[in-house]
Structure 1
Amino acid sequence: MPQANDLMVILGLSDEPDRYSHMAMKLLQKYGYENIIGVHPTLKEVDGVKVVAKFEDIPNRPHTLTVYVNPRRLEPMIPGIVQLNPQRIILNPGTESRALTQAAQDKGIEVEEACTLVLLRTRQF
């Protein structure tokens, strides 16, 4: 289980409150996770959370990378994700990717197909 100060990265963070990635950010904050970075090609900040465009701009190894990006858009990001080397990747519903799962598992990264919101609410995060 991650600790409150562990880095959480939200791939595909949105500034739109009705988007699941935004809801996940808010719920992570509610459950005490303060070290959150979003990844989005154009946003710089969402409600006080820093957003970067490239994985190289993430300062250290995250505990969890939670994914909110369509698998077609995700495919070109696989090398960057594997190089980031998170301890765990959560593929939220609709983001499942065999290619990412295989590449991550080959590097020893845990991959979970689950909903971050459900994991948090049921204390399984």
Structure 2
Amino acid sequence: MSNTDHHVAVLGASPKPARYANQCIRLLQQHGYRITPVHPRFDEIESLPVTHSLDAIDSEVHTLTLYVGPKLLEPQADEIVQLKPGRVIFNPGTESSLIQSKLDDAGIEWFEACTLVMIKTGQF
């Protein structure tokens, strides 16, 4: 699969350049990935249209990378499972045993890792 065919959804996308979610989007862009930023309040981030919720994504997601803490993430557990991403990356600070258990039950692969490091080291 080429990078342009690899669809990455970034939950917790941010327009603020200092935020890791924004750095992730920019790095994914540099590597040619197809990206869907997800945030309820923004319409555009890094010149990309923003989707306001996971259930509004209408194409297959190969990687869902998380930049939302467990308190805001856990109410979205069912949406995450229903999205059926190929894999989910829990970036530092997003870890949730509740969601990880639901992903296990659904047979969805997940990792606790840093997307930025994975991309920069060729592990993405």
Measured in 2, the distance between the counterparts of 1:56 and 1:76 equals 13
TM-score, normalization by structure 1? 0.95
Classify the secondary structure of the residue corresponding to 2:58: coil
Structure 1 residue 19 displacement after superposition: 0.2
Task: Report the identity percentage.
Answer: 44
In the alignment, the residues of structure 1 paired with residue 42 and residue 22 of structure 2 have an alpha-carbon distance, to the nearest angstrom, of 13
Deviations 1:88-119 (A, max 9, x none): 00000000000111101111110000000000
- Aligned with 1:56: secondary structure? helix
Other-structure match for 1:28: 28
* 8 A contact 1:91–1:113 mirrored in 2: yes
What's the counterpart of residue 96 of structure 1? 95
Please state whether the residue corresponding to 1:95 is helix, strand or coil. coil
Partner of 1:19 in structure 2? 19
Separation in structure 1 between the aligned mates of residue 2 and residue 88 of structure 2, nearest angstrom: 16
CA deviations over 1:57-99 (Å, ceiling 9, x no partner): 1111200000000111101000000000100000000000001
Q: Which amino acid aligns with 1:13?
A: A
TM-score by length of 2: 0.95
Q: Which runs of 4+ in 1 moved over 3 A?
A: none
Which has the higher mean CA deviation after the structures are superposed, 104-113 or 46-55? 46-55
Over aligned residue pairs, what C-alpha RMSD do you find?
0.9
Residue aligned with 1:52, SS? coil
